[in-house]
Amino acid sequence: MINDASKSSDVDVQALTALLDGEYAEIRDLVRTNLSTHASVLEEAEELGIDAFRERVRELTVELAATGQTGMGFPKEYGGGGDIGASIAAFETLAYGDLSLLVKVGVQFGLFGGAILHLGTERHHRAHLPDLITGKLMGCFAMTETGHGSNVQALGTVATYDTASQEFVITTHGDAARKDYIGNAARHAELAVVFAQLEVAGRSEGVHAFVVPIRVDGATAPGVRIEDAGRKMGLNGVDNGRLWFDGVRVPREALLNRFADVTPDGAYESPIENPGRRFFTMLGTLVQGRVSVGGGAINAAKVALAIATKYAVRRRQFEAASDGEEQLLLDYGMHQRRLLPLLARTYALHFAQDVVRTQLHEVFSGDRDDEQARRELEARAAGTKALGTWHATRTIQECREACGGAGYLAVNRFAALKADSDVFTTFEGDNHVLLQLVAKGLLTNYAHEFEDLDQLGMVRFVTGQAVETVIERTSVHKLLERVRDLLPGGDEWDQEAGLLDRDYQLAMVRFREEHMLAGLARRLKRGLDEKGDPGVVFSHVQDHVISVARAHVERLVLEAFVDKLRTLPDGGDDGNDDGNKVALGLLCDLFALSTIESDRAWFMEHGRLTVQRSKAISREINNLCRKVRPLAVDLVDAWGIPSAMLRSPDLVG
CB neighbours of 498 closer than 8 A, spacing ≥ 6? 504
Residues within window 51-70 making contact with its own copies, judged by CB under 8 A? none
User: Which residues are CB-neighbours of 8 under 8 A, at least 6 positions away?
Assistant: 582, 627, 630
Q: Which of residues 620-649 bind its own copies (CB under 8 A)?
A: 622
Give, in order, the Cα–Cα distances in Å from 98 to each of 102, 103, 239, 645: 7, 9, 15, 8
Give the nearer residue to its own copies in terms of CB position, either 32 or 418: 418
The residues in 226-285 that bind its own copies, with binding defined as CB under 8 A, are 229-234
CA neighbor of 351 nearest in space, from 19, 10, 94: 19
CA distance 604 to 599: 9
Q: What is the pairing mode between strands 167-171 and 191-200?
A: unpaired
**Closer to its own copies at the Cβ: 15 or 154?**
154
Q: Pick between residue 325 and residue 563 the one whose CB is nearest to its own copies.
A: 325
219 binds its own copies (CB under 8 A): no
Total residues at the site for its own copies (CB under 8 A)?
A: 80
Element holding 268 (H helix, E strand): strand 268-269
Q: Which of 32, 104, 385, 418 binds its own copies (CB under 8 A)?
A: 418
**Shortest Å, Cβ 637 to its own copies:** 24
Residue 397 CB, nearest approach to its own copies (Å):
7
Q: Quickly count: other Cβ atoms within 10 Å of residue 468's Cβ.
A: 10
Half-sphere exposure of 459 (CA within 13 A, CB side): 21
Whichever of 75 and 149 has its CB closer to its own copies, that residue is: 149
Site for its own copies in 135-154 (CB under 8 A): 144, 146, 148-151, 154
Q: Which of 291, 360, 419, 562 binds its own copies (CB under 8 A)?
A: 419
Residues 393-412 within binding reach of its own copies (CB under 8 A): 393, 397, 400-401, 404-405, 407-411
We find the least distance from the C-beta atom of residue 55 to its own copies, in angstroms, to be 18
238, 281 Cβ separation under 8 angstroms: no
Counting Cβ atoms within 10 Å, is residue 319 exposed (0-12), middle (13-18) or buried (19+)? exposed
- DSSP run (H or E) holding 278: helix 275-284
Q: What is the chain's Cα-based Rg?
A: 26
Contact status, residue 357 vs residue 378, Cβ threshold 8 Å: no
Site for its own copies in 426-465 (CB under 8 A): 426-427, 430-432, 454-456
The answer to whether 607 contacts its own copies (rule: CB under 8 A) is yes
* Footprint on residues 73-132 left by its own copies (CB under 8 A): none
> Are 630 and 3 spatial neighbours (Cβ–Cβ below 8 Å)?
yes
Q: How many CA atoms lie within 13 A of 373 on its CB side?
A: 14
- Can you tell me which of 189, 423, 517, 548 binds its own copies, judged by CB under 8 A? 423
Taking contact as CB under 8 A, which single stretch among the options 161-169, 207-215, 244-252, 417-425 is the one that binds its own copies?
417-425
Looking at residues 496 to 555 of the shown chain, list those that interact with its own copies (rule: CB under 8 A): 533-536, 538-543, 545-546
Select 387 or 560, whichever has its Cβ closest to its own copies.
387
Reply yes or no on whether 554 is catalytic. no
Cα torsion at 630, 632, 633, 638 (round to 10°)? Answer: 130
Helix axes 534-567, 431-444, angle to 10 degrees: 90
Is the separation of the CB atoms in 1 and 323 below 8 Å? yes
To its own copies, the closest distance from the beta carbon of 555 in angstroms equals 20
As measured in angstroms, the least distance from the Cβ of 38 to its own copies is 20
For residues 214 and 268, is the Cβ–Cβ distance under 8 A? no
* Single-letter amino acid, residue 366: G
Provide, rounded to whole angstroms, the least separation between the CB of residue 522 and its own copies. 14
Interface of this chain with its own copies, residues 549 to 588, rule: CB under 8 A? none
Euclidean distance between CA atoms 294 and 362, whole angstroms? 18
Q: Give the list of residues 6+ apart from residue 614 with CB closer than 8 angstroms, or none.
A: 597, 600, 603, 604
N-to-C CA span, the chain: 19
Strands 158-162 and 191-200: parallel
Please give the single-letter amino acid code of residue 130: P
- CB of 184: closest distance to its own copies in angstroms? 15
Instruction: Quickly list H helices, 462-577.
Output: 467-473, 476-486, 492-496, 502-530, 534-567
Determine which residue in the list 208, 345, 380, 600 makes contact with its own copies, applying CB under 8 A.
Answer: 600
Q: How far is the CB of 457 from its own copies (least distance, A)?
A: 9
Q: For Cα atoms 614, 615, 618, give the angle at the middle one, nearest 5 degrees.
A: 95
- Residue closer to its own copies (CB basis): 73 or 289: 289
Query: Which is it for strands 158-162 and 316-319: parallel, antiparallel or unpaired?
Result: unpaired
Q: Which of 362, 604, 642, 644 binds its own copies (CB under 8 A)?
A: 604
Query: Shortest Cβ distance from residue 469 to its own copies (Å)?
Result: 24
Note whether 146 and 177 are within 8 A (CB).
Answer: yes
Q: Give the range of 288-296, 509-517, 577-585, 599-607 binding its own copies by CB under 8 A.
A: 599-607
- Separation between Cα atoms, residue 278 and residue 449, nearest integer Å: 9
**Closest separation in Å from C-beta 69 to its own copies:** 27
Q: By CB under 8 A, tell whether 6 contacts its own copies.
A: no
**Which one, 224 or 435, has the nearer CB to its own copies?**
435
> Interaction with its own copies in 318-357: which residues (CB under 8 A)?
318-322, 326-327, 331-334, 337
Compute the least distance from the CB of residue 540 to its own copies, in Å.
6
**For its own copies, which is the closer residue by CB, 82 or 149?**
149
* Marked catalytic residue, from 428, 451, 513, 554: 428
Q: Which is nearer to its own copies, 174 or 404 (CB)?
A: 404
Which CB atom, from 151 or from 495, has the smaller least distance to its own copies?
Answer: 151
Residue with Cβ nearer its own copies (281 or 455): 455
Kindly state whether residue 616 participates in binding its own copies, applying the rule CB under 8 A. Answer: no
Asked if 471 is part of the footprint of its own copies (rule: CB under 8 A), the reply reads: no
Active-site residues, by number, are 428
